[in-house]
Amino acid sequence: MQTPKASGSLLGQGFVNTANAWSSLSESLRIRDINLSSNRITTLPKGFFMYKFDQLSSHNMSHNNLTVFLQFNSSIKILNLIDLTFNSITRFVDNDIDQIEKLGEVDLLLKGNPFQCVCKTLQFLKCLGKSERVRDILDVTCVTDTASRTFMIEVISYLKTFEISCKPKFWLPFAVSITSINIFGMISIIY
């Protein structure tokens, strides 16, 4: 078996209970492609892709309900495509970014996820700005802090401006404090 396909099988929550079966498959078969798309999968069994799938070249988890990036065994050297389109991923955290970098030259497909382009996702946006691994970057959208949807490539192209807007504005409370002192001073002089 080179390509186990369970696309559209609606595995959903029950998929978490299949970890031992995949362990046996990884040891006994030379799996090249795994297609688990359209299954309503929200989580994967802990360590699911930490098994050594030596021959794995592509993995399709599109059209599920994943919220986090998958953790892969970094010894999978021929993995070249991970399809995470149309899931529920809002951002990648630092561990996810490190994981992507460890995987080497793996292309990612990410469109259709409800990514957030807000200050708390700045590192993720910087990573995407530097990366050439997201093949569908022109189609990836995100929601800004004003709740408007925009293409992520637009946010990335203005990343410096976006980064500046994310810096804390410590001068604002200072200015409000000085103004308040002046107002109280003027009121106390009048009375």
- Residue 170, pLDDT > 90, answer no
Q: What is the pLDDT of residues 109-137, one digit of tens each?
A: 999 999 999 999 998 999 888 888 999 99
Which of the 8 DSSP states describes residue 12?
G
> What are the residues facing 144 on neighbouring strands?
117
What's the confidence (pLDDT) of residue 9? 53
Domain 12-190 indexed as CATH 3.80.10.10: yes
- Residue 91, pLDDT > 60, answer yes
What's the confidence (pLDDT) of residue 44? 80
Taking CA atoms, 123 is separated from 96, 156, 172, in Å, by: 11, 11, 25
Average pLDDT, integer, range 137-157: 91
Q: Which amino acid is at 175?
A: A
CA-to-CA distance for 57 and 3, rounded, in angstroms? 10
CA-to-CA distance for 114 and 91, rounded, in angstroms? 8
Distance of CA 21 to the CA centre of its chain: 27
The residues spanned by each domain of the chain are: 12-190
Q: What is the pLDDT of residues 12-70, one digit of tens each?
A: 555 555 555 555 555 556 788 889 899 898 888 777 777 777 788 899 999 999 998 88
Cβ neighbours around 137 below 10 Å, total:
19
Give me the helix-helix angle, 122-130 and 159-166, nearest 10°.
Answer: 160
Residue 61: which of 2, 25, 113, 97 has the closest Cα?
A: 113
